[in-house]
């Protein structure tokens, strides 16, 4: 939360800007010193404004607000590093939304693991006309996520995320399962 900070000095003290006649006036200097104390946090935020829009540097509460502002796929329960990564990647994810890569990256940022994605589409090239069509005739998308400790809320979160990031015309199913022991242990 932004607010006053005890002992925070102003970067532009008002007393120094007063006309010379008030330089030695004790009452005027004390009065504007009180205003400096009120204005110091505001001036501090303005002095550091570029840092507030950098997810790596912004305060956590401001980063949560920024996540909503840039449309990052967050639910408010992410650990701080994952929240910052999601906010930083939001613009890129909007560019690749609706693609397999975009869906995979959005899920990886939200859950911290790579999903298994299978889709019905396909492409092929043939020198002869009337060749077989690649892929399945009915479009479908299937997303499987293997988590070390899956919870019922994870499947709902995955469903919401896939519904938002998939191609609009594509029916889909999602599944959250427990990771096997081999999947839980990182390879060295």
Burial class of 13 by CB neighbour count within 10 A (0 to 12, 13 to 18, 19+): middle
Instruction: Tell me if 150 is assigned to some domain.
Output: yes
pLDDT tens-digit map of 31-48: 888 888 888 888 888 888
**Locate tokens 């081999």: which residue?**
182
**Locate tokens 């890569």: which residue?**
101
Instruction: Tell me if 157 is assigned to some domain.
Output: yes
Instruction: Tell me if 29 is assigned to some domain.
Output: yes
Query: How distant, in Å, are the alpha carbons of 100, 102, 121, 144, 167 from that of 139?
Result: 14, 18, 7, 17, 11
User: What pLDDT score does 1 carry?
Assistant: 52
User: What pLDDT score does 184 carry?
Assistant: 58
Tell me the average confidence (pLDDT) per consecutive run of 10 residues in the chain, 188 residues long.
Answer: 67 85 88 84 84 91 91 86 93 91 92 91 83 84 91 87 88 90 55
- Residue 42: how many CA atoms within 13 Å on its side-chain side? 7
Report the domain count for the chain.
2
Burial class of 142 by CB neighbour count within 10 A (0 to 12, 13 to 18, 19+): middle
**Residue 129, domain extent:** 115-188
- Of 5, 28, 47, the one marking the end of a domain is 47
User: What pLDDT score does 187 carry?
Assistant: 45
Instruction: Tell me if 102 is assigned to some domain.
Output: no
Instruction: Tell me if 34 is assigned to some domain.
Output: yes
Report pTM.
0.68
Instruction: Tell me if 165 is assigned to some domain.
Output: yes
Instruction: Tell me if 92 is assigned to some domain.
Output: no
**Partners of residue 176 on adjacent β-strands:** 145
Instruction: Tell me if 59 is assigned to some domain.
Output: no
pLDDT tens-digit map of 91-122: 999 999 988 999 999 999 888 899 999 988 88
């Amino acid at each position: 939360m932004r607010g006053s900070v005890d002992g925070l000095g102003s970067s532009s003290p008002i007393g120094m800007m007063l006309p010379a006649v008030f330089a030695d006036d004790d009452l005027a200097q004390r009065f504007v010193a009180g205003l400096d104390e009120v204005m110091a946090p505001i001036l501090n935020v303005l002095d550091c404004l570029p840092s507030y829009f950098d997810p790596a540097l912004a305060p956590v509460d401001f980063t949560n607000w920024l996540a909503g502002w840039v449309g990052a796929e967050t639910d408010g329960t992410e650990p701080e590093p994952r929240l910052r990564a999601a906010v930083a990647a939001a613009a890129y994810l909007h560019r690749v939304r609706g693609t397999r890569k975009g869906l995979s990256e959005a899920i990886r940022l939200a859950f911290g693991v790579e999903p298994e994605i299978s889709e019905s589409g396909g492409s092929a090239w043939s020198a002869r006309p009337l060749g077989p069509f690649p892929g399945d005739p009915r479009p479908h998308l299937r997303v499987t996520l293997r988590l070390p400790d899956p919870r019922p809320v994870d499947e709902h979160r995955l469903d919401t995320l896939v519904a938002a990031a998939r191609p609009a015309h594509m029916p889909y199913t999602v599944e959250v399962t427990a990771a096997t022991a081999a999947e839980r242990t990182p390879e060295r």
